[in-house]
Each structure stands twice: as C-alpha cells, then as structure tokens.
Amino acid sequence: MQLKIYKDYHSLSEAAATEIIELVKNKPDAVLCLASGDTPRLTCKLFAEKAIKEKIDLSNVTFIGLDEWVGIPPENEGSCHYFFQHEVLTPLHFSADQVHLFDAISENQEEECRKMDNIIFEKGGIDLMIVGIGMNGHIGFNEPGVSFDKHSHVIDLDDTTLSVGQKYFKTAVSLLKGITLGLHHLRESKKVLLLANGAKKAGVIQKTVEGEITLSFPASIMQKHSNGFVMIDEEAAGLIEK
Ligand code: GLP
C-alpha cells in the first residue's frame, strides 16, 4: 500500500479521476468499480468531464456499483443507484448491459450477490476499485468484524453506519441492512484507491495506514494490498505520525 497526500479535496479528486481516465484509455474493456458517497462525488464529476472533453469511448467498459442500502429503491435520491446514475452513468451514456448494480429491492438478495460475483469472475476481475471509508472503518458495507475473505454479501449495518447514513436521505428512512462487494473483491482487484478528505476522516485514516491489520477495522486490509493507494487530502492526514 502507498499513501498519497494531496493539498486539498480538488487535487485529490483530480488525481483519482485521472487514474480512471488512464485506465479506460489503456484498457477500453476495463472493469471499473466505484463507491458512492460524498467523497468520490467530485472524482466522478471530473471523470465525466474529462471523458466527454477527450471523447473517450467507454462503450466497452464494465461498471460495477460497490454497494447499496437494502430496501431502498433506485429512484430514492439517497440510494447508491441514484448517485451512480446521476454522477456517472447518465452523463456518460453507459448502456444498461455495461452496468451492474445491486438490486436492493429484489426479494432474493442472495441471488443478487451470486449474480454480482459471477459477473466479476466472468469479466476477469476488477481492474480499478475506488472506495471511500466509513466513520467506523468500513469499506462499502464491510462492517467491523467481517471476514477479509467475503465475496458479495448482505450484512446487518453497524450503528455508526445507520446514523451517519441518514445524511444521504432527504427524509428519514429505515436502514437495516446493506448489500456489498466483499473484501475478497478488494483484495483481488488489480488496483485499489481508497479516498478520504476532511478533518473528520483523520482518525479513521490514521488507523487505516498505521493501525493494526484487524477484522475489527476493515479498512486496515488496505495495508496488505500490493497495488493499493490511500489517497487523502492534508486535513485527512492530520493525525498520521510517520
Ligand atoms: C457509506 C458507503 C460507503 C462509503 C462510506 C463513506 O456508508 N457504504 O461505500 O464509501 O460510507 O461515505 P462518504 O464518502 O459519504 O463519507
């Protein structure tokens, strides 16, 4: 794992967006997995702007959504689906057959997981995964305690995730479970970028890069990734000692 510290949120997002652009230029049939949330929002916007400006052909790219709130329909503005659609997929005219998002309102969530695992396997694995980090150290919805070997799965959400998660919704919603790619997928991804910005993430970033590698802090798995990059702004780097 490598740590990269940027001056501010904008330069961090520029660097992450450039990573996506370089990938899709070099590998037009790349498999790209993105997280939703506040952190990657500017990365997505800049990626979309650059791809349009440079007229990059994205028609052979496969897009994988990292996670979703179980029970929240795609038209809800707080859903991950809504985020991906509005920030990336619609602006860049991705067609439905290129896009694989968990259907969080399917009655068979286990089947959703198996479908996602099969797609990733059939496509030859994920080339680039861009994730954020939760205030409890989660990645996607890999909550504290989850095995590093998990494939896609449904999980009971941690109390921190339940309370922080309300920020995405205009009106209060009942959140209980998440559906997510597992940390196996992260470990197997050819490249992983974990993004974080702002002073509020300084504590979890310090644990991610300097703490013990432990199931109780899922993001610590980044330390073991040979092509993993923790990309943060100066504020999020505020508690790092070395
Ligand atoms: C959410 C999502 C994650 C996201 C993380 C951080 O709950 N499940 O995929 O990366 O928390 O979100 P944010 O970037 O809004 O801080």
- Ligand 1: centre distance to CA 56 (Å): 28
**Best of 39, 155, 233 to mutate for ligand 1, by most ligand atoms within 8 A of CB?**
39
Using CA atoms, how far apart are residues 20 and 32, in angstroms rounded to an integer?
Answer: 8
Average pLDDT of the chain is: 97
165-184 residue pLDDT tens? 999 999 989 999 999 999 99
Reported confidence tier of residue 155, pLDDT bands at 50, 70, 90: very high
Q: Is 111 in the pocket of ligand 1 (CB under 6 A)?
A: no
Per-residue confidence (pLDDT) for residue 63, from 0 to 100:
98
Active-site residue, from 112, 127, 136, 142: 136
User: Under a CB-based contact definition with an 8 Å cutoff, are residues 68 and 101 in contact?
Assistant: yes
User: Could you tell me the two tokens for 120?
Assistant: 């990733």
Model-level pTM greater than 0.95? yes
3-state class of 86 per DSSP?
Answer: helix
Instruction: Examine the pLDDT at 241 and tell me if it is beyond 70.
Output: yes
Instruction: Examine the pLDDT at 191 and tell me if it is beyond 70.
Output: yes
Burial of 99 (0-12, 13-18, 19+ CB in 10 A): middle
Q: For the chain, how many helices (H) and strands (E)?
A: 7, 10
User: Under a CB-based contact definition with an 8 Å cutoff, are residues 217 and 211 in contact?
Assistant: yes
Per-residue confidence (pLDDT) for residue 177, from 0 to 100:
98
Mean pLDDT of all residues in 95-103 = 98
Per-residue confidence (pLDDT) for residue 70, from 0 to 100:
98
Q: Which of 13-16's residues contact partners 24+ apart within 8 Å by CB, and which partners?
A: 13/40, 13/42, 13/43, 13/45, 13/46, 13/195, 14/46, 15/231, 16/40, 16/43, 16/47, 16/130, 16/193, 16/195, 16/231
Reported confidence tier of residue 242, pLDDT bands at 50, 70, 90: low
- Ligand 1: centre distance to CA 113 (Å): 19
Reported confidence tier of residue 33, pLDDT bands at 50, 70, 90: very high
Reported confidence tier of residue 85, pLDDT bands at 50, 70, 90: very high
Instruction: Examine the pLDDT at 90 and tell me if it is beyond 90.
Output: yes
Per-residue confidence (pLDDT) for residue 41, from 0 to 100:
98
Q: What are 238's strand-pairing partners?
A: none
